[in-house]
A and B are shown apart, each in its own frame.
Chain A
Amino acid sequence: MRIALNNVSKTFDGKTALAPTSLEVPPNRTLVLIGPSGCGKSTLLRLVMGLIGPDAGAVTFDGVPMTPKTSMELRRRLGYVIQDGGLFPHLTAEGNVTLVARLLRWDDLRIRARLSELCALTRLDPQLLDRYPIQLSGGQRQRVGLMRALMLDPEALLMDEPLGALDPVIRSGLQEDLKAIFQRLRKTVVFVTHDMGEAGYLGDEIVLMREGHIIQRGAAQNLLESPAEPFVTEFIRAQRPLWTGEREAAG
């Protein structure tokens, strides 16, 4: 699926959240949006999902614009994952995952088959499907959230800081699993994070944002070696992993 933003802008209460922005998301690749808090990366993702309407411009999917008329159809072709999974507390894990499929009257056999596929893919113990969100760990909730997003086999995945609430060990395990899943599914992925390490690890390409503007777009190496402006280096250095400091100290 080819997702494109064409001069899309958004203000909240007179404050610019996203300046007029154009962006092509390459199909079947993982694009990471990164930047400090309030840079507009989550706003951009919510504009893509049609959860908020743009003040100007349009978001298109293979040329079809996101409008109130097309939104329901388009959203079913997209998977959306948010922090902590965004699971509905009144439904079991399975109830969350199969909510839309049941509404679309998938038969039981098809639902069963898809569930076991997804459990294998996201490495979730199928026994956990009967549990309610409150009975699951943070990592498990995130796996269930991913299953829910993937249930209808969407053409693109949009993920808004999905691992933000997890502790580092679990987060690292999930990053590995996500990378494997992205490589295996070859879907179009837009992934929002503020963690440079995560961005470099998961992203084929990185889009660095600040104050509603895109500052630079390119591979992680590219950002590191030829920064478009000092802020790029500043942002990367501010997030420098621990070993960099050790090496510098040793050198």
Chain B
Amino acid sequence: MMLRMVQWLVIAALLGSSVHARPAVTIGSKAFAESWVLGDALAALVRQTGRADVEHRKNLGGTEIVYQALQSGGIDVYPEYTGTIAEVLMKSSGRPSLAEMRAFLKPRGIGISDPLGFNDGYALAVMPATQKRYGLTKLSDLARHPDLRLALSHEFIGRKDGYPGLARAYGLRMTDVRGIQHDLAYGALASGQADVMDVYTTDAQIAKLGLKVLEDDRGFFPRYDAVLLYRLDLPRRAPEAFAAMQRLSGRVNEAAMIRANAMVVLQKKPSEQAAAALLRDALGAGQDAGSAQAPSALQVIPWNVLTHMELVVVSLLAAIVVGVPLGILAASSRLMANLTLSVTGLLQTIPSLALLALLIAVFHRIGLVPSLVALFLYSLLPIVRNTYTGLANIPPTLSEAAEALGLPRMAQLLRVRLPMASPSIAAGIKTSAVINVGTATLAALIGAGGLGNPILQGIALRDNALILQGAIPVAVLALLVQGGFDLLDRVWIPRGLRLRG
């Protein structure tokens, strides 16, 4: 049985590596529509030069993850904003110039393009009714209403140029400030569960919901001019592709960006289509998105399911291969038990985003490898613990009986102890597998795809149908995995242990 598992593992690993060959130019984007559209536009520009080996790793997550991916070479270029570079990357409290930013990033192997032309800065917005009731037009008006409920994105709350600085600049003493996933904040405002949210100035939802943007009357918010961050080796490696992408510099204004954003967010058009529209706006007629035709849901779902299963199967097999021996080790002595169980338990407490960011830094790449490692680590605990428990709960008289028969240690383990522990081990593997199916949705955060993709995109677009495209297959998969393992119990749990007296 062990041998067969190893075979599966090898086959699965080969399958994984063959599917994920690396193209010459890899474009990244963050987890929001504007970033996707810009990424798609860049990909289209490269394709127009005749290159086909360009890939857009869409929806990679927040600044840390995308920048990490750029530095490690997982991607070659991605759209970024000057304000973010100053605050998040340079950790600067001032307002550095573009030249200062270039000087900062150059030793890190990163270059900055000329600004694309639009500012996507922070602003605070309220519903029209709120504006009327409180007479709000400027940010300084907020100071008079400390009881207004703020629903702000986590990044905005954490950044010095976000809420903390804003509160200081305007003397705000708001009593109810909570962090919320940005795309969920619109719903919170629309349904009256919050009063104020942070928005971006090119946000398509501003027009849709009739949100009123509060005037930054003290000029607090820095500019967020869109630029491209690229690896300095890219112009050498792919000069014509790099030149093509630079055509966008100075050509995209706010109005064009808002239109493109609205196509994706409000009209539910594929981002590739919005990118084509953006290119037409920016560069004139004759632009199309190249060969990138948005695939339909029917094509995407099976592919997502397949990728998802690849993530689950490979990480689970690895967790079995490592976890069962670790459980055996844990059962060998009290010291080992404490050591093994606390280390695997500790792994479980690392927040998934932190673990993913850490693994990207360790492996210098995004996508499949760090995702598999994260899932593998999260799968370990139930397997190790149940293997240990199963072995530890064998009646001592029976362990002694095996010893008294003159069985060698290995035979005691393989013929007596492991089979007797098999119901517990099988339950541990089943638990890991089911949890793993759910956790694997996180892999989409760092570009490994799977059923997390439609879920994340659906959240970003507030498109419930898209969320369900991911959530339903995940639920079905979890049930199938549960059922499959129930059947497998008949294979790997000896009959004598399944009988009732």
- The reply to whether A148 and B405 contact each other, CB–CB distance below 8 Å, is yes
Can you list 21 A-B pairs, Cβ within 8 angstroms, ordered by A? A49-B400, A72-B407, A74-B406, A75-B404, A75-B405, A75-B406, A78-B404, A83-B397, A86-B398, A86-B400, A88-B416, A89-B420, A90-B416, A90-B420, A90-B422, A90-B494, A90-B496, A92-B496, A103-B407, A132-B496, A135-B499
- The reply to whether B405 and A89 contact each other, CB–CB distance below 8 Å, is no
User: Which residues on B sit within 8 Å (CB–CB) of A80?
Assistant: 401, 404-405
Further contacts, 12 of them, CB under 8 A, given A88-B420, A100-B405: A46-B400, A72-B408, A74-B406, A80-B401, A82-B401, A86-B400, A90-B496, A99-B407, A99-B415, A133-B496, A134-B500, A135-B501
Point out residues on B near A: beta carbons under 8 Å: 397-398, 400-408, 411, 415-416, 419-420, 422, 494-497, 499-501
- The reply to whether A100 and B406 contact each other, CB–CB distance below 8 Å, is yes
**Chain B residue at minimal CB-CB distance from A76:** B406
User: Which residues on B sit within 8 Å (CB–CB) of A133?
Assistant: 496
In the bound assembly, the distance between CA atoms of A133 and B397 in angstroms comes to: 15
In the bound assembly, the distance between CA atoms of A133 and B499 in angstroms comes to: 10
User: Which residues on B sit within 8 Å (CB–CB) of A99?
Assistant: 405, 407, 415
- The reply to whether B407 and A88 contact each other, CB–CB distance below 8 Å, is no
In the bound assembly, the distance between CA atoms of A135 and B415 in angstroms comes to: 21
How many residues of A are counted as interface, with CB atoms below 8 angstroms from the partner's CB atoms? 27
In the bound assembly, the distance between CA atoms of A74 and B406 in angstroms comes to: 8
In the bound assembly, the distance between CA atoms of A132 and B420 in angstroms comes to: 13
- How would you classify the secondary structure of chain B's contact residues: helix, strand, loop or mixed? helix
A51: Cβ under 8 A from any B Cβ: yes
Contact of B411 among A46, A78, A103, A135 (CB under 8 A): A103
Hey, what's the 0/1 contact readout for A74-113 against B, CB within 8 Å counting as 1? 1110101011001011111000000110010000000000
**Chain B residue at minimal CB-CB distance from A75:** B406
A225: Cβ under 8 A from any B Cβ: no
In the bound assembly, the distance between CA atoms of A88 and B500 in angstroms comes to: 15
**Chain A residue at minimal CB-CB distance from B401:** A86
In the bound assembly, the distance between CA atoms of A71 and B405 in angstroms comes to: 10
Q: Which of A16-34 contact B (CB under 8 A)?
A: none
In the bound assembly, the distance between CA atoms of A100 and B406 in angstroms comes to: 8
Contact of B496 among A82, A83, A134 (CB under 8 A): A134
User: Which residues on B sit within 8 Å (CB–CB) of A82?
Assistant: 397, 400-401
**Given A73-B406, A90-B496: A103 and B415 within 8 A (CB)?**
yes
Q: How far is the CB of B416 from chain A (nearest CB, A)?
A: 6
**Chain A residue at minimal CB-CB distance from B494:** A90
- The reply to whether A89 and B497 contact each other, CB–CB distance below 8 Å, is yes
Q: How far is the CB of B143 from chain A (nearest CB, A)?
A: 71
- The reply to whether B404 and A49 contact each other, CB–CB distance below 8 Å, is yes
In the bound assembly, the distance between CA atoms of A73 and B408 in angstroms comes to: 10
In the bound assembly, the distance between CA atoms of A78 and B499 in angstroms comes to: 31
In the bound assembly, the distance between CA atoms of A191 and B408 in angstroms comes to: 26
Q: How far is the CB of A238 from chain B (nearest CB, A)?
A: 27
Q: How far is the CB of B409 from chain A (nearest CB, A)?
A: 9
- The reply to whether B401 and A88 contact each other, CB–CB distance below 8 Å, is yes
User: Which residues on A sit within 8 Å (CB–CB) of B408?
Assistant: 72
Hey, what's the 0/1 contact readout for A45-65 against B, CB within 8 Å counting as 1? 010010100000000000000
User: Which residues on A sit within 8 Å (CB–CB) of B419?
Assistant: 88, 90-91
In the bound assembly, the distance between CA atoms of A86 and B394 in angstroms comes to: 12
Q: How far is the CB of B396 from chain A (nearest CB, A)?
A: 10
User: Which residues on B sit within 8 Å (CB–CB) of A73?
Assistant: 406
User: Which residues on A sit within 8 Å (CB–CB) of B501?
Assistant: 134-135
Q: How far is the CB of B501 from chain A (nearest CB, A)?
A: 4
In the bound assembly, the distance between CA atoms of A248 and B400 in angstroms comes to: 45
- The reply to whether B404 and A51 contact each other, CB–CB distance below 8 Å, is yes
Q: How far is the CB of A77 from chain B (nearest CB, A)?
A: 8
User: Which residues on A sit within 8 Å (CB–CB) of B402?
Assistant: 88
Contact of B406 among A72, A86, A90 (CB under 8 A): A72
Q: Which of A124-171 contact B (CB under 8 A)?
A: 132-135, 148
Contact of B497 among A71, A74, A78, A90 (CB under 8 A): A90
**Chain A residue at minimal CB-CB distance from B402:** A88
User: Which residues on B sit within 8 Å (CB–CB) of A46?
Assistant: 400
User: Which residues on B sit within 8 Å (CB–CB) of A103?
Assistant: 407, 411, 415
In the bound assembly, the distance between CA atoms of A53 and B37 in angstroms comes to: 74
In the bound assembly, the distance between CA atoms of A245 and B403 in angstroms comes to: 44
Closest 4 CB pairs of A and B: A75-B406, A132-B496, A90-B494, A86-B401
In the bound assembly, the distance between CA atoms of A74 and B496 in angstroms comes to: 30
- The reply to whether A51 and B403 contact each other, CB–CB distance below 8 Å, is yes
Q: How far is the CB of A106 from chain B (nearest CB, A)?
A: 14
- The reply to whether A51 and B400 contact each other, CB–CB distance below 8 Å, is yes
Residue from B400, B404, B500, B501 having most chain A Cβ neighbours under 10 A: B404
User: Which residues on A sit within 8 Å (CB–CB) of B404?
Assistant: 49, 51, 75, 78, 80
In the bound assembly, the distance between CA atoms of A90 and B403 in angstroms comes to: 16
User: Which residues on A sit within 8 Å (CB–CB) of B416?
Assistant: 88, 90
**Chain A residue at minimal CB-CB distance from B411:** A103
Residue from A78, A89, A90, A134 having most chain B Cβ neighbours under 10 A: A90
Q: How far is the CB of B399 from chain A (nearest CB, A)?
A: 9
Q: How far is the CB of B375 from chain A (nearest CB, A)?
A: 31
Q: How far is the CB of A59 from chain B (nearest CB, A)?
A: 14
Q: How far is the CB of A105 from chain B (nearest CB, A)?
A: 12
Q: How far is the CB of B398 from chain A (nearest CB, A)?
A: 6
**Given A89-B420, A90-B419: A132 and B495 within 8 A (CB)?**
yes
Q: How far is the CB of A56 from chain B (nearest CB, A)?
A: 22
Q: How far is the CB of B249 from chain A (nearest CB, A)?
A: 71
User: Which residues on B sit within 8 Å (CB–CB) of A74?
Assistant: 406
**Chain B residue at minimal CB-CB distance from A132:** B496
**Chain B residue at minimal CB-CB distance from A134:** B501
In the bound assembly, the distance between CA atoms of A49 and B400 in angstroms comes to: 10
User: Which residues on B sit within 8 Å (CB–CB) of A91?
Assistant: 419, 494, 496
In the bound assembly, the distance between CA atoms of A104 and B411 in angstroms comes to: 11
User: Which residues on A sit within 8 Å (CB–CB) of B494?
Assistant: 90-91
User: Which residues on B sit within 8 Å (CB–CB) of A75?
Assistant: 403-406
In the bound assembly, the distance between CA atoms of A241 and B419 in angstroms comes to: 44
Q: How far is the CB of B435 from chain A (nearest CB, A)?
A: 27
Q: How far is the CB of A66 from chain B (nearest CB, A)?
A: 12
In the bound assembly, the distance between CA atoms of A51 and B437 in angstroms comes to: 45
In the bound assembly, the distance between CA atoms of A135 and B494 in angstroms comes to: 14
Q: How far is the CB of A36 from chain B (nearest CB, A)?
A: 21
In the bound assembly, the distance between CA atoms of A72 and B407 in angstroms comes to: 7
User: Which residues on B sit within 8 Å (CB–CB) of A90?
Assistant: 416, 419-420, 422, 494, 496-497
In the bound assembly, the distance between CA atoms of A135 and B496 in angstroms comes to: 9
In the bound assembly, the distance between CA atoms of A133 and B408 in angstroms comes to: 23
User: Which residues on A sit within 8 Å (CB–CB) of B420?
Assistant: 88-90
